[in-house]
Amino acid sequence: MANAFIELGNAIRAMGSLGFHAALERFMQSEINFDNYLVIAYLGEQPPIALYRSSWSERVYAEMDSKYLTSLYVLDPFYSAHLGKIPVGAYRLLDLAPDKFRTTSYYREYYQKTTLIDEIAFFAYVKNGWTINICIGRDETSDRTFDRRARKNAVEMAPTIVALLERHFDISPIARRGNSPSVDGALIYRLKEVHGIEITPRQAQVSVLLLRGHSSKSIGRELKISWQTVRVFRKQIYERCKISSQAELFALLTPLVHAELEDGS
C-alpha cells in the first residue's frame, strides 16, 4: 500500500504534463496487475484518439491504428457504452458485451487477434464533452483473466482514477474535431453505392446492432421495440440483401462500415 501512495502522489504531481499517463499507469499497476494499458478518447460518433498505450505483447495493438481507430471502434462494446453515457466507474468488457459478442466478425477477425482475454475500462467524462477510457487488459502475456480481487480493486479505485482524469483534462483539454457521419448513415450510403441496395434508417440501426453482437431480444431492448418486430426487420434486411444467414450479413456489411468510416476519417 505504501508504494501505491507514492505512485499516487507522482500521478498527482504529473497532472497537466506529458508524463501524466505513464505516472497514472504506474499507480494503477501498483494495485492491479495487468498486461496492457490504453488511454483512448471519444467525442460523440467521431473516430477516437489513442492518447497513450503500452503492452508487453506486440500483437495487442498491432492493428489498432489501421483498423480499430479508423472504423472498427463502432463495433466495440466500450464505444457503445460511451454513446450510452454509462455512469462513471470501472466496467469489465465481458459484463458490457452483447450476448452474441463472440459470434461477431469483429470478435473473430479483429478482437481475437489482439490476444486480449479480459479487459476493464474506467469511464470518465471530461472537459469539452470528451469521454476518456483507460483500458487495462490481460492478454497472451499472462494468459489469465482478472480475478475477483483485481475486479474489486478496480471498482474501488475508480473514483480516484476519474478524479485524476477530470483534473488532468481540465488543465490540458483535448481540442474538438469536425463532425463525422454516423455509422448508421455510413452503412446506408455505402450499401447503396457499392451494391445498389437501399435500406431504411431503422433497418440500418438493426444491422449495426447485429454487427456489434446483439441478439434480437437485446436489439429490442436497445431500440425499445419488441423482439418480434426486430425479427421482421432482420427478415427485411436479409431479403433486400439477398442473403439467408447472419454470417452472410457480417461478410457483406463489415467491410462496408470499415471502408466508409476509413474514407471519412
Return the higher-pLDDT residue of 263 and 27.
27
For residues 71-84, give the mean pLDDT. Answer: 94
Residue-wise pLDDT tens digits, 125-150? 998 899 999 999 999 999 999 999 99
For residues 255-261, give the mean pLDDT. Answer: 69
> Residues of 25-43 as b/e, b for ≥16 C-beta within 10 angstroms?
bbbbebbbebbbbbbbbbb
pLDDT of residue 1: 59
- Please list, in sequence order, all residues whose beta carbon lies within 8 angstroms of the beta carbon of residue 159, skipping any fewer than 6 positions away: none
- Per DSSP, what are the bridge partners of residue 165? none
Residue-wise pLDDT tens digits, 197-211? 998 888 888 998 998
pLDDT(107) > 50: yes
Query: CA–CA separation, 257 vs 209, rounded Å?
Result: 12
Q: How many CB atoms lie within 10 A of CB 261?
A: 24
For residues 222-238, give the mean pLDDT. Answer: 90
Q: Provide DSSP, 28-67.
A: HHTTS--SEEEEEEE-TTSPPEEEEEEES-TTTTTTIIII
Query: CA–CA separation, 137 vs 79, rounded Å?
Result: 16
Give pTM, 2 decimals.
0.75
Q: Using 50, 70 and 90 to split pLDDT, how confident is the model at 260?
A: low
Residue-wise pLDDT tens digits, 163-199? 999 999 999 888 766 555 577 877 887 888 888 999 8
For residue 109, what is the enclosing H or E element?
Answer: helix 105-109
pLDDT of residue 181: 58
